[in-house]
């Protein structure tokens, strides 16, 4: 009978294994960071060194080749002239003696001449004396004038010569002509040393200049890095970035400074929004809590009180829902999800006016002039115009005059202006500068429904479209509240 093994229960996880793995990862050697300053300086020095070495090697090679070729051509010309001379004239060894008349003519300049007799012996020793080998003696006994044998790299003392032996013909001897090459090589070695010293000096200067230039360039980057690290460590966004200049690093510094400023402002706005929202939510929540506690005794209440309680609960629930929705819209901003596109702000105002007519039964007129097309976010702009119309109808409930929406084309290039005009009680002068603040409500409007966020959303929409909100009293009574799109007031 086959036995079946029961599956083993899973082993409990060892809590020490993740910690051990973490310690092992932390124990790994971290790669050493190479600063941008060092990288830039080394790269600059390396490129300079490569160019300097290449130019130095090519220059030295060209100069050495020219010098050697020139010296060899001079020596070849001297030997060829000597051969032509002994071929054209019957000359003896005595004619090349250093003591013979006219020896300065038959002896070439800047050369060493040594004369060999018919038997190959030295008749007139050169200065210094040149070595004589069997091949030279053979040339000395040759019958034909102008025969030649050439010896390269002949060591004479501590110098190196090139020697050519030319026969005089008829067994009369030969003439040895030598030219020193060691002085040329000494000159080339001196040139090589000077070139090497110059290359080392240039590379050293390039390295120092590269280090200075890298330090000058990266100094502001170091400041930016330090500021970024301070922000990451302390989470304080109000850090001043002291970066100057109009190059790419300066632009980066100013952009980083503006980014920190906007992040700090956004953090402050979020903090104020949370504080204001908490403050505003306390009142409806307290009222709801009170009314809910009364629901426990609803059977004891008269029918009129019951209906009033239910109506209050419904109204407070609606207001609380509207407040939460407006808070969500204000916090989200809507600008991150909705892409801008080309639209006609006058057509958008017509849509808002039609919706307001159906909701309130009030006449809402739209006046448009000029070119009202622009690039914007339709949902945000529609919400802003709708908030302005709702604000106008709320404060002018009993009025018979129509609410007007005026959309004006560009008073300046790219600027479109939206105004909503009403004939309500108007706005007090002391409230004109605060009507767009979050949760702000004028004294005469606190009894009316609303959250105090409608005009604040209008301001956020205007700022998101590079515009600005505005409000002022209307001649003849009422208010004019609106915003611009694309360029401020």
Q: What CATH number has the domain bearing residue 349?
A: 3.30.565.10
361 with 477, same domain: the answer is: yes
Helices (H), 361-487: 378-395, 454-464
CA 415 – CA 484 distance, rounded (Å):
7
The pLDDT of 291-297, averaged and rounded, is 78
- Domain extent at residue 269: 237-332
CB atoms within 10 A of CB 368: 17
CA 416 – CA 120 distance, rounded (Å):
114
Domain assignment of residue 208, yes or no: no
Domain assignment of residue 244, yes or no: yes
SS3 labels along 243-281: CCCCCHHHHHHHHHHHHHHHHHHHHHHHHHHHHHHHHHH
341 with 479, same domain: the answer is: yes
When divided into structural domains, the chain yields a total of 3
Question: pLDDT higher for 425 or 201?
Answer: 201
Beta carbons of 292 and 312 less than 8 angstroms apart: no
Choose the final residue of a domain: 332, 354, 385.
332
CA 401 – CA 442 distance, rounded (Å):
23
Choose the final residue of a domain: 291, 309, 332.
332
Query: At 268, which CATH number?
Result: 1.10.287.130
Structure-token match 């850090």, residue found: 239
Domain assignment of residue 381, yes or no: yes
425 with 288, same domain: the answer is: no
259 with 339, same domain: the answer is: no
pTM to 2 decimals?
0.45
What per-residue confidence (pLDDT) applies to 329? Answer: 65
370 with 449, same domain: the answer is: yes
343 with 481, same domain: the answer is: yes
Domain assignment of residue 230, yes or no: no
Domain assignment of residue 251, yes or no: yes
What would the pLDDT profile of 239-249 be if each residue is shown by its tens digit?
Answer: 777 777 777 77
DSSP structure string for 87-101? HHS---GGGG-TTST
pLDDT at 347 over 90: yes
Beta carbons of 407 and 366 less than 8 angstroms apart: yes
157 with 253, same domain: the answer is: no
Q: Which of helix, strand or coil describes residue 368?
A: strand
What would the pLDDT profile of 45-57 be if each residue is shown by its tens digit?
Answer: 788 888 888 888 8
What would the pLDDT profile of 142-200 be if each residue is shown by its tens digit?
Answer: 888 888 888 887 888 777 888 899 888 888 889 888 887 766 677 777 888 888 888 88
355 with 261, same domain: the answer is: no
Dihedral over alpha carbons 54, 59, 62, 63 (to 10 degrees) = -150
Beta carbons of 401 and 425 less than 8 angstroms apart: no
Domain assignment of residue 254, yes or no: yes
Structure-token match 């001649």, residue found: 475
The pLDDT of 385-404, averaged and rounded, is 81
313 with 339, same domain: the answer is: no
174 with 264, same domain: the answer is: no
User: 406: which strand partners?
Assistant: 367, 419
Choose the final residue of a domain: 180, 201, 217.
180
Helices 248-295 + 182-234 axis angle, to 10: 20
317 with 251, same domain: the answer is: yes
CA 36 – CA 32 distance, rounded (Å):
13
Nearest 5°: CA angle at 72, between 119 and 155? 55
Beta carbons of 66 and 191 less than 8 angstroms apart: no
Domain assignment of residue 348, yes or no: yes
What per-residue confidence (pLDDT) applies to 127? Answer: 79
Burial class of residue 131 in the structure, from the number of CB atoms within 10 Å of its CB (0-12 exposed, 13-18 middle, 19+ buried):
middle
What per-residue confidence (pLDDT) applies to 276? Answer: 62
Domain assignment of residue 7, yes or no: no
358 with 475, same domain: the answer is: yes
């Amino acid at each position: 009978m086959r036995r079946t093994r029961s599956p083993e229960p899973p082993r409990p996880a060892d809590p020490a294994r993740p910690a051990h793995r973490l310690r092992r990862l932390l124990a790994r050697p971290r790669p050493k960071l190479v600063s941008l300053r060092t990288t830039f300086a080394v790269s600059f020095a390396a490129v300079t060194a490569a160019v300097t070495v290449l130019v130095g090697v090519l220059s030295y090679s060209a100069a050495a080749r020219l010098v050697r070729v020139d010296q060899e051509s001079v020596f070849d010309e001297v030997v060829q002239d000597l051969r032509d001379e002994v071929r054209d004239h019957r000359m003896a060894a005595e004619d090349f003696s250093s003591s013979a008349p006219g020896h300065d003519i038959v002896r070439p300049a800047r050369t060493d001449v040594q004369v060999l007799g018919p038997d190959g012996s030295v008749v007139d020793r050169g200065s210094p004396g040149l070595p004589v080998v069997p091949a030279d003696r053979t040339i000395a006994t040759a019958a034909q004038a102008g025969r030649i044998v050439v010896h390269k790299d002949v060591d004479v003392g501590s110098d190196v010569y090139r020697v050519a032996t030319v026969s005089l013909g008829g067994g009369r001897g030969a003439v040895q002509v030598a030219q020193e090459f060691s002085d040329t090589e000494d000159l080339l070695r001196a040139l090589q040393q000077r070139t090497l010293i110059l290359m080392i000096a240039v590379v050293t200067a390039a390295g120092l200049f590269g280090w200075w230039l890298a330090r000058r360039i990266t100094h502001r980057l170091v400041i930016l890095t330090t500021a970024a690290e301070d922000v990451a460590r302390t989470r304080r966004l109000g850090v001043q970035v002291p970066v100057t200049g109009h190059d790419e690093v300066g632009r980066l510094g100013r952009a980083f400074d503006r980014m920190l400023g906007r992040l700090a402002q956004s953090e402050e706005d979020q903090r104020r929004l949370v504080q204001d929202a908490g403050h505003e939510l306390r009142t409806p929540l307290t009222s709801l809590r009170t009314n809910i506690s009364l629901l426990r005794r609803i059977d004891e209440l008269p029918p009129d009180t019951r209906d009033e309680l239910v109506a209050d609960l419904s109204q407070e629930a609606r207001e609380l829902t509207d407040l939460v929705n407006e808070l969500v819209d204000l916090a989200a901003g809507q600008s991150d999800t909705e892409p801008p596109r080309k639209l006609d702000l006058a057509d958008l105002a017509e849509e808002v006016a039609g919706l307001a007519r159906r909701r309130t039964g009030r006449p809402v007129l739209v006046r448009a002039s000029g070119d009202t097309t622009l690039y914007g976010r339709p949902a945000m702009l529609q919400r802003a115009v709708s908030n302005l119309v709702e604000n106008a109808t709320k404060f002018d409930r009993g009025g018979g005059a129509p609410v007007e929406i005026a959309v004006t084309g560009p008073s300046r290039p790219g600027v479109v202006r939206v105004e909503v005009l009403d004939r309500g009680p108007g706005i007090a002068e002391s409230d004109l500068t605060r009507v767009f603040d979050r949760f702000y409500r004028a004294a005469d409007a606190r009894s009316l429904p609303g959250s105090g966020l409608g005009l604040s959303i209008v301001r956020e929409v205007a700022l998101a479209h590079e515009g600005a909100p505005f409000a002022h009293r209307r001649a003849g009574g009422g208010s004019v509240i609106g915003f611009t799109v694309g360029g401020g007031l």
